[in-house]
């Protein structure tokens, strides 16, 4: 059996969590392969709303196994809160959750470093979620990191202290001290204490060699879905560097983040919003800084699931979308938040960029240099409510034209159209 992959094609928050939850009944295993609690994946059903940061979005099924793969970085303090929230709804998360022993830990001083680097950057800050993502991946690559599997080995506390002291020296070298920052309302040292207490979650969770678990499941014919976090335009290699996250968010990340060989990758589901959003700093060619952008933000409730920050909004960018489709080998597109475009009678779609007077349909090497002017094509909007639409057979002709236009320009079929945040507001084509 092959592993299917679902990932975001824009700057994150495309609606990945919602669709993973919708597709989970078709799978035996849902596995996160990269990122950490910088992710915020929202799932809404039966009037309840959940935001998951580390736990895969298949956790609401009582049948599917959920795996946090080796490519993920994990903060036990944040994961404990996620588990406690699921407990309060009687969702049996623990028995269906498996954590790779090779997944690295985000320590309190990784968060401290993240805050330090951002503060030191001033107006050039990345707009990080301040969850310690960059510093934790840095230590992984520098071969200094602590893995969940190390918790049961001797010498954990000594290695932890050594790493923390090194981080504190870096903080001081930047002219700051630990007391300058707060973490979820706690001082650094109180946060550290809470973090150590949270390590007890690993007494209840199953630490596994997830590469064996997944490959054996595939060999036995089980169905596995890999759940991406962030989006391709935030990929460490191909995103709008340096305004990116610190992992490979693209499909290639599945192989290294779960230990699955490339020939076992099956369908690649590319999730995109019918428009674009971005949270944090960095280039965004089709951004709308006018009342249209405000209307999208209000209609789409575009405020970060992890940080609550307002998301920047703009028209659909087909240059970026086609780039992401190329990088990931997308086989099916899922279009999200289609209902949010209902108030608009005209829809612009960015078809090319004009850079220094030259038109291009390629994402340039450095998107941060100079002005990138979007070249738009205008399409008719459907300009009517569609959030109660029950079938695509009843969709307005203008919506079908928008879909067909995107399919023509990308060469990939749009198989799902999402018209609202609830599980049920999902239309298949």
Helix, coil or strand: residue 207: strand
Pairing relationship of beta strands 265-273 and 332-336 according to DSSP bridges: parallel
Q: Are 9 and 34 in contact (CB under 8 A)?
A: no
Q: For ligand IMO, which is the closer residue by CB, 12 or 149?
A: 12
65: left (phi over 0), alpha (psi -120 to 50) or beta: beta
* Minimum CB distance to ligand GDP, residue 271 (Å): 7
Dihedral (CA of 223, 148, 55, 252) sign: negative
The one of ligand IMO, ligand GDP, Mg ion, none whose footprint includes residue 420, by CB under 5 to 8 A per kind, is ligand GDP
Shortest Cβ distance from residue 308 to ligand IMO (Å)? Answer: 12
By a kind-dependent CB cut-off of 5 to 8 A, residue 234 interacts, out of Mg ion, ligand IMO, ligand GDP, none, with: ligand IMO
- Secondary structure class of 304 (helix, strand, coil): coil
Residues that bind ligand GDP (CB under 6 A): 8, 12-18, 39-42, 44, 300, 305, 336-337, 339-340, 418-421
3-state secondary structure of 333: strand
User: Least Å distance between CB 129 and ligand IMO?
Assistant: 3
**Angle at which helices 108-121 and 156-173 pack, to 10 degrees?**
10
CB-nearer residue toward ligand IMO: 8 or 69: 8
Nearer to ligand IMO, 240 or 352 (CB): 240
Minimum distance of ligand IMO from residue 405's CB (angstroms): 25
Residue 49 or 216: which CB sits closer to ligand IMO?
Answer: 49
76 binds, among ligand IMO, ligand GDP, Mg ion, none (CB under 5 to 8 A by kind): none
- CB nearer to Mg ion: pick between 271 and 325: 271
Closest contact distance (angstroms) between CB of 111 and ligand GDP is 20
Phi and psi at 342, nearest 5°, equal -55, -35
Token digits for 415?
């198989």
CA–CA separation, 280 and 130 (whole Å) = 11
Distances (CA, A) of 365 to 43, 237, 238, 362: 35, 11, 9, 9
d(CA 71, CA 73): 7
Task: Give the shortest CB-52-to-ligand GDP separation in angstroms.
Answer: 8
- Taking CB within 5 to 8 Å according to partner kind, which of ligand GDP, Mg ion, ligand IMO, none is near residue 4? none
| Residues tagged active-site | 13, 41
Locus of tokens 């979650």? 201
Q: Where are the beta strands (DSSP E) in 263-413?
A: 265-273, 276-278, 312-314, 316-317, 332-336, 346-355, 358-360, 372-380
Q: Which residues contact ligand IMO (rule: CB under 6 A)? A: 8, 11-13, 38-41, 126-129, 131, 133-134, 229-231, 234, 245-246, 279-280, 305
With CB under 5 to 8 Å by kind, the binding choice for 148 among ligand IMO, ligand GDP, Mg ion, none is none
Q: In the Cβ-directed half-sphere of 59, how many Cα atoms lie within 13 Å?
A: 30
Q: What is the DSSP letter of 43?
A: E
Nearer CB in complex with ligand IMO: 35/420? 35
Give the integer Cα–Cα distance in Å for 320 and 8. 12
Residues 388, 393, 396, 397, Cα dihedral to 10°: 160
Distance in Å, CB of 38 to ligand IMO, minimum: 4
With respect to ligand GDP, which residue has the nearer C-beta, 89 or 212? 89
Instruction: Choose from ligand IMO, Mg ion, ligand GDP, none: what does 233 bind? Cβ within 5-8 Å by kind.
Output: none
| CA dist., res. 364 & res. 163, Å (int) | 38
Footprint on this chain of Mg ion (rule: CB under 5 A): 13, 40, 305
Q: How far, in Å, CA of 74 to CA of 82, rounded?
A: 12
**Binder of residue 126, out of ligand GDP, ligand IMO, Mg ion, none (CB less than 5 to 8 A by kind):** ligand IMO
């Amino acid at each position: 059996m092959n592993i299917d992959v679902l990932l975001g094609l824009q700057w994150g928050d495309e609606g990945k969590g919602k669709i993973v939850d919708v597709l989970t009944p078709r799978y035996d295993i849902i596995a996160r392969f990269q990122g950490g609690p910088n992710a915020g994946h929202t799932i809404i059903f039966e009037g309840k709303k959940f935001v998951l940061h580390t736990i895969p979005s298949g956790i609401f099924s009582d049948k599917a196994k959920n795996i946090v793969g080796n490519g993920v970085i994990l903060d036990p303090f944040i994961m404990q809160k996620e588990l406690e929230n699921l407990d309060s709804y009687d969702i049996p998360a623990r028995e269906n959750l498996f954590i790779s022993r090779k997944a690295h830990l985000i320590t309190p001083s990784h968060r401290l470093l993240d805050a330090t680097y951002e503060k030191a950057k001033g107006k050039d800050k990345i707009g990080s979620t301040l969850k310690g993502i960059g510093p934790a991946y840095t230590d992984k690559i520098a071969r200094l990191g602590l893995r969940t599997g190390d918790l049961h080995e001797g010498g954990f506390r000594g290695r932890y202290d050594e790493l923390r002291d090194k981080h504190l020296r870096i903080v001081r070298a930047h002219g700051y001290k630990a007391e300058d920052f707060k973490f979820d309302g706690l001082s650094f040292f109180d946060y550290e204490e809470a973090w150590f207490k949270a390590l007890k979650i690993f007494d209840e969770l199953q630490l596994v060699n997830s590469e064996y678990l997944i490959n054996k499941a595939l060999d036995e014919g089980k169905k596995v879905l890999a759940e991406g976090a962030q989006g391709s335009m935030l990929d460490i290699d191909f995103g709008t560097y340096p305004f990116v996250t610190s992992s490979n968010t693209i499909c290639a990340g599945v192989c290294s983040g779960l230990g699955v060989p490339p020939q076992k990758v099956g369908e690649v589901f590319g999730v995109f919003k019918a428009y674009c959003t971005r949270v944090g700093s960095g280039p965004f060619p089709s951004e709308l800084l006018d009342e249209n952008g405000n209307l999208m933000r209000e209609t789409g409730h575009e405020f970060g699931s992890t940080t609550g920050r307002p998301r920047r909004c703009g028209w659909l960018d087909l240059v970026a979308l086609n780039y992401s489709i190329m990088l990931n080998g997308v086989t099916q597109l899922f279009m999200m938040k289609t209902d949010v475009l209902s108030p608009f009678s005209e829809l612009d779609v960015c078809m090319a960029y004009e850079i220094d007077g030259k038109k291009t349909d390629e994402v340039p090497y450095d998107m941060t240099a100079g002005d990138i002017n979007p070249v738009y094509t205008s399409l008719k909007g459907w300009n009517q409510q569609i959030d109660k639409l029950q079938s695509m057979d009843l969709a307005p002709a203008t919506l079908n034209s928008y879909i067909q236009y995107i399919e023509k320009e990308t060469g990939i079929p749009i198989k799902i159209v999402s018209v609202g945040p609830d599980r049920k507001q999902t239309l298949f084509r």
